[in-house]
Chain A
Amino acid sequence: MAVLGLVFTVLLLLGTPIAVSLGIAGIAGILSEGLRTLTAPQRMFTSLDSFVLLAAPFYIFAGEVMYRGGITERLIRFSQFVVGRMKGGTAYAAIIAAVLFSGISGTAVADAAALGQVYIRGMPKEGYRKEFAAALIAAAAMIGPIIPPSVIMVIYAGFAGVSVVKLFLAGIIPGLLMGLSLAIVVFIYGLRGGLPESRPAIRRAEIPRVLGDGLVVMSLPAFILGGSVSGIFTPTEAGGIACVYALFLGIVWYRDLRWAGIWQALKASSRMTAILFFVVSTVAICDYTLTVGGIANYTKLMFEPFAGQPILFLTVVAVAMLVLGSFLDPGPMVILFIPLLMPIVRAMGIDEYQFSMIFILTGTLGLVTPPVGIVLFVSCKIGNIDQWTLFKAVIPFIAAEFVVVLMMVLFPAISNWLPNLV
């Protein structure tokens, strides 16, 4: 296990792709423990041989189609209409757009890329500081994997053995609270006089169309959740249907999507799927080595002092995941740690959806913290800002989102009330 950890850390720090670092570490573990070598490619295949995981490329593709089919612009116009003319209005509109976009995208990177193109470039023209705009969008993109549909929740459900539908439901209230926490930060900035007044460009005659567009787009998450909760289709099938629905909106309803756009969306989605699942498959090699090496016993010993103290346990997990999230993406974190932590969570009597949401949210926050912060990286690229300047600007927003995590630790109903209704 020590060999595995050392190899992984060194390769990761040198800039080797996470999937390759994990794979090499796993192979080193297999060789040092004297395990059978053919288990490595076997694990790489069996880790992907899952019907639940199929939902991930579906939601990725649906988000890509929405983005390329002009649906992002419609959501943004709808958000501007909702906010109207007020101090910091565009910042609030960006948060609303992020919440709405979360309902169709499923990944934080998609949110940051789609909204960043508009807001990180557009807000400075209204008088906002560029760092503020980029930090707001990077933090708002964290809502993407929390409000359903969510790619990371699909992976989580597959490895934790929990219901995807209930996990989707568990994310709704925390996602909305994250949006609210960001709005509070914007409000505080506004009180200090640092925000300009918005200038909405929607004429009275356009209002019915803007409203209609917003409602049509928002019907997608309602359709996914409604179909899954009522049992008409599984969450995986719902993802596939969401793709068809997104194509229908782009090609037939709005007529903004061309064949070239669909082809590009298919190619980009297959690459994004490959990036994500390549990590999933190589983590499986490490996971095998760690399991055979007896990691479960070490984990049990490590968490024994927390017996009977669920709040302390959840707080420690949240802080640990926040720190680990700076080095690992949520996908590998889920695959590495969830099989170890879930038995402890169940033994301690902690609600599994409360724990799941705390784990996913804190892991996701790592996407905006260096050194491995892909959302931070995307926002830096769009805004042409260096990583550390943006990281400093994003700290108040991340702190506000972490307050939501602490609320989830103290009040389980935030995350388990909706799943318990089903």
Chain B
Amino acid sequence: MDGLRRGLTRLSDLCEGAGAVILSVIIVLNAVAVFARYVLVDPIGWSEELMRFSLAWLTYLAVGPCLFRNEHMAMETLDVIRNEAVKRMLLRFILAVTALFAGTILWFAVPLLQRNWNQFTPVMEIRTFWPYLSVALGCGLLLLFALAMIALSFTGRVHRDDDDGHAGAA
């Protein structure tokens, strides 16, 4: 199980790193777009579309790692349960529900991706398949994380416990 844990940590690092790169690209693109419009007086038409699609990719790539870090918003029901066996059962149930959700969306997304193969975005004229792929890939990753964490729950620690700053919501 140590190998599974290490693999999951590496995958989490990879996804988070990709998310960080995408965010930096969005920030740079935004600054370049403002510069091009006001200083060069030559607006970049495709920057907005690319930034919007990047936001979806950024979101869905990090959804799985957030599950591994136990950072998704939820009621703290697990914290009030004293009995370790019950706690572990409930954790497995929560992870199974998460896997069910991710798997269902992945399943629903297949025909959607097929339909979008022949459609193109208005500005960049890329296949709309690519932005929609973010949802499918993100849910695929979430499914993988959830299933792996169920497996980890039979041996010991489930969540990643190194901390580089808590991520929370609004």
- A interface vs B, CB < 8 Å? 11-20, 23-24, 27, 37-38, 40-42, 44-45, 48-51, 53-54, 56-58, 61, 64, 68, 106-110, 113, 145, 150-152, 155, 232-233, 236-237, 239-241, 243-244, 263-279, 281, 327, 329-331, 371-372, 374, 377-378, 387
Contact = CB atoms under 8 A, between A and B. Distances in A.
B75 A13 contact: yes
29 contacts: A15-B77, A16-B98, A17-B67, A19-B72, A40-B105, A41-B112, A48-B56, A49-B53, A64-B165, A107-B168, A107-B169, A145-B170, A151-B170, A232-B38, A237-B30, A237-B34, A263-B20, A264-B165, A267-B164, A269-B20, A271-B19, A273-B62, A274-B19, A274-B59, A274-B63, A274-B65, A275-B168, A327-B75, A331-B170
Interface residues of B toward A: which range?
35 or more
Contact of A267 (B19, B31, B51, B55): B19
B94 A14 contact: yes
Contacts of A244: 27, 31
A57 B58 contact: yes
Interface in B69-116: 69, 71-78, 90, 93-94, 97-98, 100-101, 104-105, 108-109, 111-112, 115
B73 A279 contact: yes
Contacts of B112: 38, 41-42
A16 B97 contact: yes
B136 interface: yes
Nearest to A11: B97
A51 B74 contact: no
A51 B73 CA distance: 24
Interface stretch (B3-11, B127-135, B149-157): B127-135
Interface of B: 16-17, 19-24, 26-27, 30-31, 33-34, 38, 48, 51-53, 55-56, 58-63, 65-67, 69, 71-78, 90, 93-94, 97-98, 100-101, 104-105, 108-109, 111-112, 115, 131-132, 134-136, 139, 164-170
Given A17-B73, A45-B131, A266-B23, A271 B65 contact: yes
B30 A271 contact: no
Contacts of B168: 107, 109-110, 113, 272, 275, 374, 378
Nearest to A374: B168
B66 A330 contact: no
B69 A271 contact: yes
A46 to B, nearest CB: 9
A270 B105 contact: no
Given A54-B26, A272-B169, A278-B72, A266 B101 contact: no
B59 A273 contact: yes
Given A41-B132, A327-B75, A371-B77, 17 more contacts: A14-B90, A16-B98, A18-B72, A19-B72, A23-B105, A27-B105, A41-B136, A41-B139, A44-B135, A240-B27, A241-B30, A266-B21, A270-B22, A271-B65, A271-B66, A372-B75, A374-B168
